[in-house]
Structure 1
């Protein structure tokens, strides 16, 4: 099997309506060749509809879709140079893994011998060499998912589409398979569009994440950018938990902003923030707690939960309830303890300024 070809994906002012309901609003985006881009968002945000339009399973109500520079807006699914890996794997239970991978090749007119040779190469590619004669029921969930990926890759598409590919796996297997998918994509350099509602999954596999809300793009960028510099309360809370606190930006200087929460002051990157009322997104692991009374920003621990590698606290403060994750398990604090609250240098972002 040759290395899969790579193609760009472009959506130009795409709109999708179902009757009077608009599922996608004027969507424009570009996916560069050889990148893995994830469409992320809560249920009903439009990510699956976007993927289905790219696959040719739905057609836009307006706008254009291009793959590798070719307008495919109204082409049927079988005339687009894409392959799709489904959430349910969609393997034929009565066929061996090898026959499942070869099926699409044979259906496209390739002779059986060549199809089976390419299918063998595909199984080798995903680490399943020697398991080709097993039925799907004789494979683990992760192995079945890799068969589905091999079946898609042997067709050598310009773009590989993955629709919630890990949702049927348990947590430990999801971590393993998402790593395998990412390594495979980087090794072969194919273009991939990945749909998930799982933030950790998106952060782990993506070159770029497109977060969708109500049929539109809420924010897009590299995983670290979205996590560390959310543009809104929605993004801050959706891309991993965040405490959102009201604050006052009292000064900006040399790219830094001085903020005040009650009598507590802190400096952090301003990112163009102006002085005045704002909101501060604080990641749970960016908060420090020290037993003390009368601090500029203080609170009282209302609950403490030991989770092995860390402790989770809820802290009542004048600014609201704080959720805190602390690695100092050997110094666990008890409920009702009064604490001084501080912030680390990372994990803070001004939003909605």
Structure 2
């Protein structure tokens, strides 16, 4: 095998049917060695089926799956040189942490002393040195997930697969563990395929995000690309909870376009071959500045909810219904308050 291809992943015209239902119609996707790619999408979009076909837990109906340049389409899971981290951790409760990490090594024929030594190195790698004698039940949820990552990494797989790895953790712990996983991946340079339905999680950990819808790739790109340049209303709404409203492109000059929303004109990047005429505009919730009174884009408060460090609003405006998050004011404006809305260009995106 060419070492420069080690860790590369490729799906070629992959189709997957379950009976008469086609879960994946025609998937073509390449992942470079050392890249962390997240498969993102709502429930039933095909992301987990795609991961399971890569792991060897499902077989494609047609097409090819390649790892490191080798066709593994018909190889069983135990011959694919991949390791998987599950959302449930899947640790043996009666084994020590060290024994859990060493289990796969010993099952593969490594001598117990060598497996123990490699397990210790794996625990040190994920910041759990000195905890090898504990049982999984004596660790926090975040520590258990790191044990699961260590167990996968000591096998030195070409590709690490992570299936909703943080879904069992609370919000604060999720943020910390996702940072740890990303730092570990960047430090060691392994290829990783990460599945989640959480947009914030995908933005935080990924080199590239593949958004799936009904078994197809809706859009793929860097987190910044997908957030700032959505290719469709579905992507705009899914990547950051945007309100999509009618607008008009008044003029285009090079890379800039003057866009009118209600009575407000803003200058935006002219993506997707923008030209004068009717348009659709994604307005992010954090792109709206709210002030009582009239002026700018006129609106009216429909509902407000105080959530501690921010206030959420549903607004009726000259452009249509908008969802806004206000981090500046300390008290919510009551329903039916007339408001002036200013839109920040960095949170707006024309939809091709």
TM-score normalised per structure 1: 0.95
1:187-237 superposed Cα distances (whole Å, 9 cap, x missing partner): 111000000001111011101000000000000111111111111111111
Name the residue aligned to 2:170: 170
Q: What are the equivalent positions in structure 2 for 1:8-47 lying under 5 Å apart?
A: 8-47=8-47
**2:115 partner SS:** helix
Matched, 1:55 2:55: yes
Name the residue aligned to 2:156: 156
Name the residue aligned to 2:116: 116
Q: What are the equivalent positions in structure 2 for 1:119-268 lying under 5 Å apart?
A: 119-268=119-268
Aligned length: 347
Name the residue aligned to 2:339: 339
Q: Provide closer, same or farther for how the CA distance between residues 121 and 6 of structure 1 changes in structure 2, counting only shifts above 3 A.
A: farther
1:234-262 superposed Cα distances (whole Å, 9 cap, x missing partner): 11111121011111222211211122233
Distance across 2 between alignment mates of 1:207 and 1:81:
22
Which residues of structure 1 form unaligned runs of 5+? none
User: Which moves more between the two structures, 159-168 or 303-312?
Assistant: 303-312
- Maintained 8 Å contact 1:6/1:189: no
Distance across 2 between alignment mates of 1:296 and 1:187:
48
Aligned-pair CA distance for 1:273: 1.1
Q: Provide closer, same or farther for how the CA distance between residues 6 and 180 of structure 1 changes in structure 2, counting only shifts above 3 A.
A: farther
Aligned-pair CA distance for 1:321: 1.7
Distance across 2 between alignment mates of 1:303 and 1:263:
23
Distance across 2 between alignment mates of 1:147 and 1:331:
44
Aligned-pair CA distance for 1:290: 2.6
Aligned-pair CA distance for 1:303: 2.4
After TM superposition, the runs of 4+ consecutive aligned structure 1 residues lying more than 6 A away are: none
What's the RMSD between the two structures over aligned residues? 1.4
TM-score normalised per structure 2: 0.95
- Maintained 8 Å contact 1:309/1:329: no
Distance across 2 between alignment mates of 1:323 and 1:258:
23
**2:315 partner SS:** strand
**1:74 partner SS:** coil
1:315-338 superposed Cα distances (whole Å, 9 cap, x missing partner): 211332211112212475443321
Aligned-pair CA distance for 1:46: 0.3
Name the residue aligned to 2:318: 318
